[in-house]
């Protein structure tokens, strides 16, 4: 998995946080720089930490899965992607809460970063440079989340569904690319 693949995967992983940030921006009565930074920090931090946990878990199972790693990567990434697409059609009233307090943001940041945990497992099988991947995932998620608050405050729900669908499609394509690369199809 090269740098471009990591960047594209990061964008796909950030889609949930971006969509949730749009909802936060929609719910907030007033938006300021502190709001952008706070939402970006919550989501960026969690999206960066969860792959580390996933990577450590993946290292524990590396010897057992080495011959199937490309299928595992496809299954995990395609599963995450399909879940994101399905979730894009569901309404989540919890995202409508205008609070940015820890008790509201912590579960949102955790929920939107579960896919990053799974991606971290995949990274361990593919021997991805974890530091670079975590840095890129965190920065891209931070930026997209801050932008999401602004978009949500200005435009509302118009882009939320599209962001999740787009992110899901990106992750499915990445899973297929890993499989095809391993099978030497492409």
Condensed to tens digits (0 to 9), the pLDDT of residues 41-71 reads 999 999 999 999 989 988 887 666 666 666 7
Higher pLDDT, 150 or 79: 150
Count Cβ atoms below 10 Å from residue 134 Cβ, excluding itself: 23
Round to whole Å and give the CA distance between 81 and 122: 14
pLDDT digits (tens, 9 = 90+) for 72-113: 767 776 776 787 678 777 755 444 556 788 877 888 788 778
Round to whole Å and give the CA distance between 91 and 144: 21
When pLDDT is cut at 50, 70 and 90, the band that residue 19 belongs to is confident
Q: Which helix (H) or strand (E) holds 163?
A: helix 160-183
Would you say residue 38 has pLDDT above 80?
yes
Percentage of the chain with pLDDT > 70?
Answer: 80
Burial of 68 (0-12, 13-18, 19+ CB in 10 A): exposed
Higher pLDDT, 37 or 163: 37
Q: Which residues contact 178 (CB under 8 A, 6 or more apart)?
A: 1, 70, 73, 74, 77, 122, 126
pTM listed for this prediction: 0.70
Q: Contact 81/178 with Cβ under 8 angstroms? A: no
Written as six digits, the tokens of 63 are: 């010897």
- Rounded to the nearest integer, the mean pLDDT of the chain is 80
Tracing tokens 């998620």 back to the chain, one arrives at 141
pLDDT of residue 94: 46
């Amino acid at each position: 998995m090269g740098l471009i693949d990591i960047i594209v995967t990061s964008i796909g992983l950030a889609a949930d946080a971006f969509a949730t940030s749009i909802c936060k921006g929609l719910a907030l009565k007033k938006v300021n720089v502190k709001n952008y930074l706070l939402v970006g920090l919550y989501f960026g931090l969690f999206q960066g930490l969860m792959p580390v946990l996933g990577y450590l878990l993946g290292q524990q199972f590396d010897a057992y899965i080495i011959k199937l790693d490309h299928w595992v990567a496809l299954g995990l990434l395609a599963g995450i992607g399909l879940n994101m697409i399905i979730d894009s059609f569901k309404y989540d009233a919890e995202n409508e809460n205008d609070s940015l307090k820890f008790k509201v943001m912590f579960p949102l940041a955790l929920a939107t970063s579960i896919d990053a945990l799974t991606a971290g497992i995949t990274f361990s099988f593919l021997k991805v440079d974890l530091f670079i991947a975590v840095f890129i995932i965190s920065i891209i998620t931070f930026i997209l989340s801050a932008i999401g608050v602004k978009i949500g405050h200005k435009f509302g729900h118009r882009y939320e569904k599209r962001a999740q669908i787009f992110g899901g499609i990106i992750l499915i394509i990445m899973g297929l690319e890993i499989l095809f690369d391993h099978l030497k199809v492409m």
